[in-house]
Amino acid sequence: MAEHILPKGGIEVVGTSRAHNPAEHKNISRIKNQVKLITVDLEDFSSLLRVLESERPEIIFHIASMANVKDSLDNPIPTVKNNINITLNLLEVLRLLKEKTGYNPRTGICSSSEIFGNAEPHNIPINEDCPLKPINPYAVSKLAQDSLSYVYYLNYGLNLIRTRMFSYFNAKRGNLFATAFAKQVLEVGRGEREFLEHGSLTSQRTMLDVRDSSEAYWLAVTKGKFGEAYNIGSLEPVSVKDILDILVKKIDRPVETKQVDRLMRLSDIAIQIPDISKFTRETGWKQQYNLSESLDFFWSEVETYWK
């Protein structure tokens, strides 16, 4: 988001991080001298209060969460507790400051398409009114964030907008399936790995370019209506297997692939295709990059980031 916002010009970007060690800020290496970074644990209410009292941002993007579905199944308690607590802290800080000073910034709450779970065939493409049926602890935590945000909008008048992002490419997030595949392809190409490991390949998704998703977040928070939820995603269906098949051809040697039990889930989402008509109508957002362009950009970013 910071890399996307800075070129717009005239905007000061402030970010928070749990990590004290600059070596852990690899994800912002390109722009580390262009942003102000504040070390704060979002589970610490008083620290978060001090940060927002001091900085008073006009726009807030709440994108922080433990966001690994597999890890949430292995470690549900820390995932759910963290994701709910950091969001509740943020909302309470904003409520307190609004009541004391009138401060009420435009705030985007990053929910997830995971909250829909396995939608019934008659609900596909999935619109914002589709029944919410999360099937893993991460999805439950995102539904809690989503619901709490609506409660705080409704009862306290906070300027909140909820975004429900569907699948997208992000080279810096190693826990996303496409990034996990791409990293392993690189490792096979470097002789560091014999074969690529994967779980189920049958799921159908739509995959959005990270540049498109970043602009979507920006438009949602700057142009979206308070209290509303918006589905965001591509409209071009593709299977997980299709993504894998494309990525293994990115290097000049064969890549052996193997399904492994530890990457399989008892419950998995079979198909997720969004209806984004509400979002495009109310914000004017348009997808700029097709699947082929997105994959080329994604691969170049993976090569740079995971070299």
Q: How many domains does the chain have?
A: 1
- The C-alpha torsion from 114 through 118 and 120 to 125, rounded to 10°, is 40
72-125 per-position pLDDT tens digit: 999 999 999 999 999 999 999 999 999 999 999 999 999 999 999 999 999 999
101 located within any domain: yes
- What the block records as the tokens of 278 is 């509400």
33 located within any domain: no
245 located within any domain: yes
| Type of residue at 54 | S
- What the block records as the tokens of 242 is 């299709």
- pLDDT tens, the chain, 307 aa long: 999 999 999 999 999 998 877 777 999 999 999 999 999 999 999 999 999 999 999 999 999 999 999 999 999 999 999 999 999 999 999 999 999 999 999 999 999 999 999 999 999 999 999 999 999 999 999 999 999 999 999 999 999 999 999 999 999 999 999 999 999 999 999 999 999 999 999 999 999 999 999 999 999 999 999 999 999 999 999 999 999 999 999 999 999 999 999 888 878 899 999 999 999 999 999 999 999 999 999 999 999 999 8
| Per-residue pLDDT, 20 | 76
Q: What is the DSSP secondary structure assignment for residue 65, as one 8-state letter? A: S
| Per-residue pLDDT, 23 | 73
Residue 95 CA to residue 100 CA, distance in Å, equals 9
The CATH number of the domain holding residue 153 is 3.40.50.720
- What the block records as the tokens of 62 is 């709440």
Q: What is the DSSP secondary structure assignment for residue 252, as one 8-state letter? A: S
Residue 209 CA to residue 292 CA, distance in Å, equals 10
| Type of residue at 249 | K
85 located within any domain: yes
22 located within any domain: no
pTM score above 0.85: yes
- What the block records as the tokens of 50 is 């001090």
Strand order in the sheet with 229-232: 59-62, 106-112, 160-165, 229-232
CB 263 within 8 A of CB 224: no
23 located within any domain: no
6 located within any domain: no
243 located within any domain: yes
Q: Domain limits at 209?
A: 40-305
CB 134 within 8 A of CB 282: no
CB 165 within 8 A of CB 233: yes
